[in-house]
């Protein structure tokens, strides 16, 4: 067993034993100097609870649960909490706040279906991958009446409603986590609570029905989640003066290659690529019926519904359009088969126009308009770009119709609660353009999180003039600069290279290395790769495909084809596609690549959408929910410590608890404190001003000086201090 003595505690655990913290951890009776139980990390990375038999001060002899006895270095032991703290519902209550203790506490609760735990101000939700008996009207009622206090999405949502009414400030519930961690389910649970409390007008029913629609068109099966959202979503729910829901608005961001999973999938090439037509436990016919019904509920007319499905079919048939090479330069002609005819019919255009558009490109050289024939790969790109654009226009159009249906009436008060369900940080063995964009978005969200929880906290202490050594927190501004700086940032350089006709992924990678190597968040890697040091860890990106994915390959000719359509939706889409170009393109465009250079790149569009989302969040009071995926198999009851730990680190949960706890999280104005507890005073105070009364109360209850601070306007307390006063007050 000697190899076990080599085990080293994971790095973050050392953070949690700052002198400030241990000083006041020691005030709890359970954290005695003589450690009885400790955590020992085994060679497989898991932590085991061990008992100390003897200790020399540098080495200890410990016994494992299976009776085995080991001699280990003291540095490899991490303090464990006393049994009485097993399964506390707020990690702030742990005497020892190290990684194994947090992991154990969450697991202890998870095993008893208590999937929610507070981490100071943040709610941690661990995906149960099974039905848990925590939802429904009885629970909603209990949380509303505050008969249950345990952490829950309902409790967070309830707080948001109360604060919206009390402070007259818009609120937001920001849900993050990896793919498959449960964000979308959590958002739905929050919406259910809002609907139950603010319902009555009937509009809440419509709002709930947007979920199956958006999921049908914007979700797809991925390796990590059978029902993965391929788009980010912010739903803003508006309340009237009487606290009733009066409307809603949905904003989506970038749909990443949604796949369609309905119909006889085997017939369509786009669907065949996945080799997966059904998902265990999913009844396609029933799901389809639910979606159709939902489309009715949000007032999409039968006629429009038909157009929607025609467009879906057009996208699928486009995937089946094939080409034959007609000369030795690889130029092509579209094959006249069922696929081609169906596309022409469905988008309402002339078949010859369609053939021509898919295989040629109009260009202007000097003063002449010329027609260039496309080579096979170019024709395939043009076809796929058209399919993708139609799909994304369709998605946007549906969201637009939903928004019309949910539009806030005249009685709006401007008060709202927004729920953000957005793709979480991703780090895989191979990370591409999608991860690059998603992680950039998460970097922005993290800054929002930091600002609110830490900066605002600090500012409040400083404003109120209290003595509070600044707590260091990770600021990710450097990393954001790496992405956003002009002209030498990742996004600018990517856009620049994407517009060069001769730019390749390799020239892009080399440019990054040339210009960004001095940035502390950037590292050039071998070949076409580079590393970004994100707040959540380092990610190596492979630039293969970056330029192609960033360029919008949709030809102007394709947009013109759609605008020539006799049908209403394709015409709309053409207008929509044109407005997405930087300047409305005038007529056929110049040299090779010229047409595309006018269009906004994918990354730039994404950045624009992200900024819009952030702007909406900026003026709200945020509430954070961090979803955690306990295993990669989507299976219940399986809790993989390593996987959970990695996610806890990524979302900064431990950091948040440490900082919240080392500060003074409870605060009350002098007036409120004096009013609330003044009657408990046994002796009259000479002066009746709130500050004197407050100080007298603090003395009478022997609240230790290190447990509070007196600010100009407020009193600040360590965790748990006001509890004693509240107990006494309630007993009196």
Q: For residues 503 and 507, what is the distance between their CA atoms, to the nearest angstrom?
A: 6
The SS3 call for residue 495 is helix
Closest by CA to 464, choosing from 667, 718, 699, 662, is 667
Instruction: For residue 167, give the 3-state DSSP assignment.
Output: helix
Among 8, 132, 633, 638, binds ligand ATP (CB under 6 A): 132
Show the tokens assigned to 408. 């806030």
Which of these ranges, 43-51, 126-134, 370-378, 663-671, lies near ligand ATP under the rule CB under 6 A?
126-134
Site for ligand ATP contains 127 (CB under 6 A)? yes
Rg (CA), the chain: 30
Residue closer to Mg ion (CB basis): 201 or 222: 222
Q: Whose CA is closest to 628, among 78, 154, 236, 107?
A: 107
Question: Which residues are known to be catalytic?
Answer: 179-180, 184, 225, 228-229, 424, 426
CB of residue 597 to ligand ATP, shortest distance in Å: 33
Inter-CA distances, 612 with 234, 560, 615, 639, Å: 10, 29, 5, 37
**Within 226-255, which residues bind Mg ion (CB under 5 A)?**
229
Near Mg ion by CB under 5 A, which window of 175-183, 327-335, 508-516, 656-664? 175-183
Least separation, in Å, of the C-beta of 183 and ligand ATP? 3
> Could you tell which of ligand ATP, Mg ion, none binds residue 388, using a CB distance below 5 to 8 A set by kind?
none
How far apart are alpha carbons 289 and 491 in whole angstroms? 43
Q: Which of 423, 425, 546, 673 binds ligand ATP (CB under 6 A)?
A: 423
Contacts of 169 (CB under 8 A, 6+ apart): 163, 620, 621
CB of 256 to Mg ion, least distance (A): 12
User: CA 63, CA 69: separation in Å to the nearest integer?
Assistant: 4
Partner from ligand ATP, Mg ion, none contacting 181, C-beta within 5 to 8 A by type: ligand ATP
Closest distance to ligand ATP from the beta carbon of 219 (Å): 7
Tell me if 229 contacts ligand ATP by CB under 6 A. yes
Q: Is 641 in the site for Mg ion (CB under 5 A)?
A: no
Q: Applying CB under 6 A, which of residues 225, 249, 357, 389 lies at the interface with ligand ATP?
A: 225
Return the residue of 140, 181, 245, 613 that touches ligand ATP, per CB under 6 A.
Answer: 181
Nearest distance, CB of residue 425 and ligand ATP, angstroms = 11
Among 129, 288, 639, 701, binds ligand ATP (CB under 6 A): 129
As measured in angstroms, the least distance from the Cβ of 731 to ligand ATP is 38
132 vs 365 by CB, closer to ligand ATP:
132
Choosing among ligand ATP, Mg ion, none, which partner's interface includes residue 177 (Cβ < 5 to 8 Å by kind)? ligand ATP
Q: Please spell the DSSP secondary structure of 463-483, one letter per residue.
A: HTT---PPPP----HHHHHHH
Binding of ligand ATP at residue 598 (CB under 6 A)?
A: no
> 8 near 76, Cβ under 8 Å?
yes
With CB under 6 A as the contact rule, the residue among 190, 627, 710, 725 that binds ligand ATP is 627
DSSP 644-686: HHHHHHHTTHHHHHHHHHHS--EEEEHHHHHHHHGGG-SS--S
Question: Is 227 one of the binding residues for ligand ATP (CB under 6 A)?
Answer: yes
Shortest Cβ distance from residue 183 to Mg ion (Å)?
Answer: 5
**Binding-site string for ligand ATP from residue 91 to residue 110, where x marks contact by CB under 6 A and - marks none:** --------------------
Provide the minimum distance between the beta carbon of 446 and Mg ion in the complex, in angstroms, as a whole number.
19
| Out of 4, 185, 505, 655, the residue judged to bind ligand ATP by CB under 6 A | 185
Q: Indicate whether 252 belongs to the interface with ligand ATP (CB under 6 A).
A: no
CB of 529 vs ligand ATP, minimal distance in Å:
25
Element (H, E) at 49: strand 47-55
- Return the H-helix or E-strand segment holding 187: helix 183-198
The three-class DSSP label of residue 130 is: coil
What is the Cα–Cα distance from 516 to 522, expressed in whole angstroms? 7
Write the DSSP string, 234-273.
EEEEEE-TTS-EEEEEEEEE---------S-GGG-HHHHT
The 3-state DSSP class for residue 304 equals helix
Tell me which of 60, 184, 519, 709 binds ligand ATP, using CB under 6 A. Answer: 184
By CB under 5 A, residue 184 contacts Mg ion: yes
432 binds, among ligand ATP, Mg ion, none (CB under 5 to 8 A by kind): none
User: How far is 113 from 152, CA to CA, in rounded Å?
Assistant: 12
* Residue span binding ligand ATP (CB under 6 A) among the ranges 41-49, 90-98, 194-202, 227-235: 227-235
Q: Could you say which of 180, 348, 503, 690 contacts ligand ATP (CB under 6 A)?
A: 180
Phi, psi of 524 (to 5 degrees): -75, 145
Instruction: Assess contact for 176 and 115: CB atoms under 8 A.
Output: no
Burial of 162 (0-12, 13-18, 19+ CB in 10 A): exposed
Residue 120 binding: pick among Mg ion, ligand ATP, none (C-beta 5-8 Å cut-off by kind): none
Question: Which residues of the chain form contacts with Mg ion (CB under 5 A)?
Answer: 183-184, 229
Question: Which residues of the chain form contacts with ligand ATP (CB under 6 A)?
Answer: 127-129, 131-132, 177, 179-185, 225, 227-229, 423, 627
């Amino acid at each position: 067993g000697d190899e076990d003595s080599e085990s080293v505690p994971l790095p973050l655990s050392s953070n949690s034993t700052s002198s400030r913290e241990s000083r006041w951890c020691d005030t709890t009776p359970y954290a005695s100097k003589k450690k009885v139980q400790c955590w020992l990390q085994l060679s497989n990375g898991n932590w085991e609870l061990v008992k100390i038999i003897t200790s020399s001060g540098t080495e200890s002899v410990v016994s494992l649960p299976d009776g085995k006895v080991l001699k280990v270095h003291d540095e490899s032991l991490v303090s464990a909490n006393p049994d009485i703290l097993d399964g506390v519902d707020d990690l702030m209550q742990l005497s020892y706040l190290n990684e194994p203790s947090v992991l154990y506490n969450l697991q202890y609760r998870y095993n008893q279906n208590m999937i929610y735990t507070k981490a100071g101000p943040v709610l941690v939700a661990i995906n149960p991958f099974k039905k848990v008996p925590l939802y429904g009207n009885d629970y909603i009622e209990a949380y509303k009446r505050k008969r249950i206090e345990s952490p829950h999405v309902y409790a967070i949502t309830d707080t948001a409603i109360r604060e919206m009414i009390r402070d007259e400030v818009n609120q937001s519930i920001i849900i993050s986590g990896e793919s498959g961690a449960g964000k979308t389910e959590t958002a739905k649970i929050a919406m259910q609570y809002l609907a139950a409390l603010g319902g009555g007008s009937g509009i809440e029913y419509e709002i709930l029905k947007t979920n199956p629609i958006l999921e049908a068109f914007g979700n797809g099966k991925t390796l990590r989640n059978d029902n993965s959202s391929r788009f980010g979503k912010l739903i803003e729910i508006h309340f009237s003066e009487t606290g009733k829901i009066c409307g809603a608005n949905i904003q989506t961001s970038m749909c990443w290659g949604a796949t369609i999973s309905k119909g006889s999938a085997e017939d369509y090439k786009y669907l065949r690529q996945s080799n997966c037509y059904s998902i265990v436990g999913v009844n396609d016919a029933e799901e389809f019926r639910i979606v159709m019904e939902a489309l009715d509920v949000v007032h999409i007319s039968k006629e429009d519904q038909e157009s929607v499905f025609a467009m879906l079919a057009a996208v699928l048939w486009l995937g089946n359009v094939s080409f034959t090479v007609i000369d030795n330069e690889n130029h092509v002609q579209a094959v006249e088969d069922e696929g081609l005819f169906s596309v022409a019919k469905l988008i309402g255009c002339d078949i010859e126009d369609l053939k021509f558009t898919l295989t040629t490109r109009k260009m202007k050289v000097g003063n002449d308009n010329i027609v260039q024939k496309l080579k096979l790969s170019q024709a395939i790109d043009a076809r796929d770009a058209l399919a993708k654009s139609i799909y994304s226009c369709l998605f946007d159009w549906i969201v637009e119709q939903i928004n019309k249906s949910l539009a806030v009436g005249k009685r709006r008060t401007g008060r709202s609660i927004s729920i953000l369900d957005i793709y979480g940080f991703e780090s895989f063995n191979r990370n591409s353009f999608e991860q690059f964009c998603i992680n950039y978005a998460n970097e922005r969200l993290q800054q929002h999180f930091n600002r609110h929880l830490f900066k605002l906290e600090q500012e409040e202490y400083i404003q109120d003039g209290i003595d509070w050594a600044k707590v260091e927190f990770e600021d990710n501004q450097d990393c954001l600069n790496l992405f956003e700086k002009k002209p030498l940032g990742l996004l600018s350089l990517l856009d620049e290279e994407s517009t060069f006709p001769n730019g390749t992924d390799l020239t892009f990678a080399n440019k990054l290395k040339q210009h960004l190597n001095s940035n502390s968040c950037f590292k050039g890697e071998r070949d076409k790769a580079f590393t970004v040091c994100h707040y959540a860890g380092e990610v190596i990106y492979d630039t293969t495909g970056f330029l192609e994915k960033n360029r919008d390959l949709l030809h102007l000719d394709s947009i013109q084809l759609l605008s020539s359509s006799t049908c209403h939706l394709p015409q709309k889409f053409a207008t929509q596609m044109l407005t997405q170009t930087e300047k409305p393109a005038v007529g056929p465009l110049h040299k090779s690549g010229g047409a595309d250079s006018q269009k906004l790149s994918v990354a730039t569009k994404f950045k624009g959408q992200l900024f819009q989302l952030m702007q909406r969040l900026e003026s709200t009071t945020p509430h954070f929910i961090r979803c955690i995926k306990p295993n990669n198999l989507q299976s219940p009851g399986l809790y993989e410590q390593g996987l959970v730990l990695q996610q806890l680190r990524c979302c900064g949960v431990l950091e948040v608890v440490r900082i919240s706890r080392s500060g003074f999280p409870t605060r009350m104005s002098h007036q409120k404190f004096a009013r609330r507890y003044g009657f408990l005073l046994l002796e009259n105070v000479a002066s009746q001003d709130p500050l004197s009364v407050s100080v007298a109360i603090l003395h009478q209850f022997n609240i230790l000086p290190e447990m509070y601070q007196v600010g100009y306007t407020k009193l600040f307390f360590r965790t748990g201090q006001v509890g004693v006063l509240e107990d006494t007050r309630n007993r009196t």
